[in-house]
A and B are shown apart, each in its own frame.
Chain A
Amino acid sequence: MDHPAAGSTGMPEVNEPNHFLRIVLWWLVVSVIGTALVVFVLGPGLPPGNGSVEASGQVTDNTVLLALSVPVAAAVLVYLTYALIVFREREPEVYVDGPPIRGNASIQLWWLVTTTVIVLFLAGYGSIRLLADGSGGGQGPNPIAAPAASSSDPPLQVQVIAQQWQFNYRFPGYGGVEVPDLELPANTLVEFHVTSLDVIHSFWAYQLGVKADANPGVDNVAYVTTKGPLSVNIRCAELCGVWHGYMFETAHVVSKADFATWIRAQETRFAPATKTLPPYSKTYFPPPERRGG
């Protein structure tokens, strides 16, 4: 374009009010009130709650993101509201043009700097939070971010075997017993190994803040550090066929003593079945049935 971007300053004319100052003041008011409401009112109720250490971490993360997005949203909304009211055409019958302002180099620069800082902060913050404990997400076969486990207490390994349309759980530390319901001990680091026998599923333990896709032939590891006793909604979060909508159940976090009792009972109960199971492995490949075509 032949018109340099910084050619017009966009400065208000002499007898016009200082629009910029007014917008900034309104923005400050809205942002402060909005951010305070988000942090102190909405924040504690944000998902997924405080069911585990990782879930609490996600609540913190959600609060930070929401608190940051309030001033950003407020800037756009306050500006738009102000502009639409103040700069509206009052005599629509006559076509009069506005001033030919084509840009403002310093505003563009400030915008670029501000948004870059916000974005870099978000990415840095998110990465640090993620690498600290994995945040309960699936991390593939070689996890890079595990929460610190106490050396005396190795993590409890639980294999989640997804198939159409249920989850089964296998405990390699307890003779490889496979059970259809899940109970977990409180205040324990749990190491989920999520895999699938057929199509892609996703293991979602909502209150624990755990989500890990179950891919056939893949061992997807997710960590969670449980807190107190709790009921956990388990749902499949990846479309896996006709009865995907019915692939849900309730798991329980119970005290360590209760868990020890429960798992022993399961070992006894499923002992005949355990003998016929394939040996414990990270992945399983059941013989393929006849495929389409």
Chain B
Amino acid sequence: MSTIAVPVARPPLWRRLVGFNLLAGIALGIIGYVIGQWIGGRFTGVNIAYYSKTAGQNDIAIMLGYFFGVVGFLIGMGFANYPIQRMLGYPPTLAEHEAEEEGVGRYFRLCTDHKVVAIQYLVGIGVFFFIGGLNAMLIRTELLQPNTHVFGANQYLTLVGMHGTMMMGMMTSGILGPFANWVVPPMIGARRMAFPRIESFTFWLLMAAGVVLITTIFFGGFQTGWTGYQPLGDQNTAGYDAYIGFFALVGVSMTLLGLNLAVTIISMRAPGMTWTRLPIFVWSVLATAALMFLAAPMLIAALLMGAMDRTIQTAFYVAGQGGSSYLFQNLFWVFGHPEVYIVALPGFGIVLELLPVFARKPLWGYRLAVSGMLGVGLLSFFVWQHHLFVSGINADLRPFYMLSTELISLPTGFTFLCFMGTLWRGRIRFTVPMLFCLAWAFNFLFGGISGVFLSDVPSDVTTHGSFFSMAHFHYTIMGGLVFTFFAAIYYWVPKMTGFNLSERLGKVHFWTMFLAFNSTFAPLFALGFMGMPRRVVTYNPSFQALNDWASVSAFILGISMLIFLYNVVWSLLIKREPAEANPWHSKSPEWQLATPVPVYDFERTPVFDPDPYPYGVEPVPVGRPVVAPAGGQA
């Protein structure tokens, strides 16, 4: 995207295609998969020649195929080069395709520039977001009628599982991947992340995981939903191996992404960037990163035990043989509940970061906002059994989990208070990012209030596992995360790409999406109250009117995404109107960089003023690059 002229003559095309890049990654990935299958076949005494007969049954071969395939892919991408070079005694270097290489090629290989990785993340996650959204469209198509009419029960449940798994797995990194990777270094005055190779690794691992998940359709799909409860997963066909492979790889990617971001924020802040001067978005990233590397290992462990149950016949989750189905539920939700805050917290950060820009005021209650985010993060580890209120596990602890769950509304309320306080007597500008932030408040309010019904055990007895809880988490996750995801896109993409997005199309996109979203999910609260359980392919014919309403609204929601896609293609690829350096007149550090942003962001380490949000005060804008003191961090 950069327009800096490269004087060096470019090598011929074939020379650029051969090397450690996506092509080599795919080739080695396929070879690795076959090798894994072959070893698995040896292991279980199945000849590779009978592959077509045994595929879909031999879980050991499929698991090993996925494992070797992913390893091969990563080797092909060039992730083994650095360790091997170091082991052979070559000096360390960070030069991989960074300064010397411009153009499109670096987006298809290991690149250690945080800005490139961020755009890779944005596009890669965007693709899977659209696939997941397409699954949702198909789900709503099936639910147009109370009986099966388009898909069979198996296909329908696979769609439900793919939609949930893809959204929860991919969109976990939906804000941290693209936006934290891009924005955090300039915000804290660093030129790169702490571990640039690991930064790139998390992205390519996530993409490999996404492909693994999609391969489930070749092995019969999985009928377990995104929760993948055992022992249902244990009796599933081989499609469930893809679920395990996907989520375990996503868990690794999440852990590393969280560690990388946390280390960057803790140790790479420029001189003068003290904790109380951090932009609020960086605080939300730090809280999320901590949740990521604390919670995700639990998921990996739970899934590995599931994989062992399936392959080498252990019985962690098989009740009749000494295991317990509770064990998986427990382990899954110890990860799963922090996970939903991993998804929600970056949204809080985006909203509170953007609000001062468009209300032209400092953030109201900075310390309160920080303590709110840290409080949500801490409490999220103590609430997981509210997912098991009617399961009969630890029934006498339910009052405690009811209290801890409802306590989370205190720190969440802090975020709302800061949101409202920042608007107070501001000069509110209704730009597209601002509209998405305001929609967050509306959606998350209803998401939170419906959560109170689910946290209250007597009320939860009816709403548990019904469309009510489904509507609830769509209001919090889609209304909370996806709306702020788009706010961040409209806000930061002009800086990231150097081109403006169309404001008019953005507003059309916003209003279509906002109205269709509420029109889709509000009726689902009513359906849950009326007794419609989740993940069913048939329902009571008396529910059809509301379901059809939700389906038609969902299709309009889908159309709103196409409007967005059209905006992206038109504005970024066809029209290409260069963006100003600071179109929003923002005072945060990343907007003080030049557009397009040079490879190493800034020439000298910036020194930060004491005020992260200097709106309405004179004279110095924050983050103005000034000469660093001698010995400043490079």
Q: Do residues A288 and B368 form an inter-chain contact, with CB atoms below 8 A?
A: no
Q: Which of B9-17, B416-424, B551-559 contacts A (4 or more CB under 8 A)?
A: B416-424
Q: Do residues B428 and A84 form an inter-chain contact, with CB atoms below 8 A?
A: yes
Query: Please, which residues of chain A bring their CB within 8 A of the CB of B571?
Result: none
Q: Do residues A211 and B465 form an inter-chain contact, with CB atoms below 8 A?
A: yes
Q: Which of B80-88, B177-185, B295-303, B305-313 contacts A (4 or more CB under 8 A)?
A: B305-313
Query: Please, which residues of chain A bring their CB within 8 A of the CB of B403?
Result: 123, 127
Query: Please, which residues of chain A bring their CB within 8 A of the CB of B237?
Result: 292
Q: Do residues A130 and B457 form an inter-chain contact, with CB atoms below 8 A?
A: yes
Cα–Cα distance between A88 and B153 once the two chains are bound (Å): 51
5 A-B interface contacts by CB (under 8 A):
A123-B399, A131-B399, A199-B235, A217-B325, A238-B465
Question: Which residues does B use to contact A, with CB under 8 Å?
Answer: 59-60, 153-154, 156-157, 223-225, 227, 229, 231-232, 234-238, 276-277, 309-313, 318-321, 324-326, 329, 359-368, 388-396, 398-399, 402-403, 406-407, 409-410, 413-414, 416-417, 420-421, 423-430, 438, 441-442, 445-446, 449, 452-453, 455-462, 464-466, 529-531, 533-540, 585, 610-612, 614-617
Q: Do residues A216 and B231 form an inter-chain contact, with CB atoms below 8 A?
A: yes
Cα–Cα distance between A115 and B319 once the two chains are bound (Å): 43
Q: Do residues A241 and B223 form an inter-chain contact, with CB atoms below 8 A?
A: yes
Which residue of the partner chain, among A61, A83, A215, A288, contacts B424 with CB atoms under 8 Å? A83
Known: A202-B390, A243-B153. 12 other contacts (CB 8 A): A5-B367, A58-B458, A100-B617, A108-B365, A115-B410, A126-B402, A126-B455, A130-B399, A140-B393, A213-B390, A242-B153, A242-B154
Query: Please, which residues of chain A bring their CB within 8 A of the CB of B441?
Result: 76, 80
Closest chain-B Cβ to A282's Cβ sits at a distance in Å of 12
Cα–Cα distance between A80 and B422 once the two chains are bound (Å): 11
Q: Do residues A233 and B531 form an inter-chain contact, with CB atoms below 8 A?
A: yes
Which residue of the partner chain, among A61, A87, A136, A216, contacts B426 with CB atoms under 8 Å? A87
Q: A112-B410, A244-B157, A291-B318 given as contacts; is B313 within 8 A of A47 (CB)? A: no
Query: Please, which residues of chain A bring their CB within 8 A of the CB of B616?
Result: 97-100
Say if the beta carbon of A253 comes within 8 Å of chain B. no
Q: A101-B364, A245-B538, A291-B234 given as contacts; is B462 within 8 A of A126 (CB)? A: no
Query: Please, which residues of chain A bring their CB within 8 A of the CB of B236?
Result: 292
Query: Please, which residues of chain A bring their CB within 8 A of the CB of B410?
Result: 112, 115-116, 119
Q: A137-B390, A211-B390 given as contacts; is B235 within 8 A of A101 (CB)? A: no
Q: Do residues B453 and A62 form an inter-chain contact, with CB atoms below 8 A?
A: yes
Q: Do residues B395 and A1 form an inter-chain contact, with CB atoms below 8 A?
A: no
Say if the beta carbon of A122 comes within 8 Å of chain B. yes
Query: Please, which residues of chain B bring their CB within 8 A of the CB of A293?
Result: 59-60, 310-313
Interface string of A235-263 (1 = CB under 8 A from B): 11111111111101000000000000000
Closest chain-B Cβ to A147's Cβ sits at a distance in Å of 13
Q: A130-B458, A237-B533 given as contacts; is B610 within 8 A of A2 (CB)? A: yes
How many A-B residue pairs have C-beta atoms within 8 angstroms? Tell me: 330
Q: Do residues A221 and B531 form an inter-chain contact, with CB atoms below 8 A?
A: no
Query: Please, which residues of chain B bring their CB within 8 A of the CB of A138?
Result: 390-392, 395
Query: Please, which residues of chain A bring their CB within 8 A of the CB of B224?
Result: 239
Say if the beta carbon of A46 comes within 8 Å of chain B. yes
Q: A1-B611, A241-B232, A244-B535 given as contacts; is B391 within 8 A of A92 (CB)? A: no
Please tell me the size bucket of the interface on A. Answer: 35 or more
Q: Do residues A99 and B320 form an inter-chain contact, with CB atoms below 8 A?
A: no
Closest chain-B Cβ to A53's Cβ sits at a distance in Å of 12
Which residue of the partner chain, among B231, B312, B465, B529, contacts A47 with CB atoms under 8 Å? B529
Cα–Cα distance between A136 and B427 once the two chains are bound (Å): 52
Q: Do residues A102 and B531 form an inter-chain contact, with CB atoms below 8 A?
A: no
Q: Do residues A246 and B364 form an inter-chain contact, with CB atoms below 8 A?
A: no
Closest residue to B238 on the A side, CB-wise?
A292
Closest residue to A90 on the B side, CB-wise?
B427
Q: Which of A29-37, A65-73, A174-182 contacts B (4 or more CB under 8 A)?
A: A65-73
Query: Please, which residues of chain A bring their CB within 8 A of the CB of B531?
Result: 47-48, 204, 206, 233, 235
Q: Do residues A10 and B231 form an inter-chain contact, with CB atoms below 8 A?
A: no
Closest residue to A194 on the B side, CB-wise?
B392
Q: A127-B399, A215-B325 given as contacts; is B462 within 8 A of A209 (CB)? A: yes
Cα–Cα distance between A62 and B529 once the two chains are bound (Å): 10
Q: Do residues B458 and A137 form an inter-chain contact, with CB atoms below 8 A?
A: yes
Cα–Cα distance between A106 and B231 once the two chains are bound (Å): 53
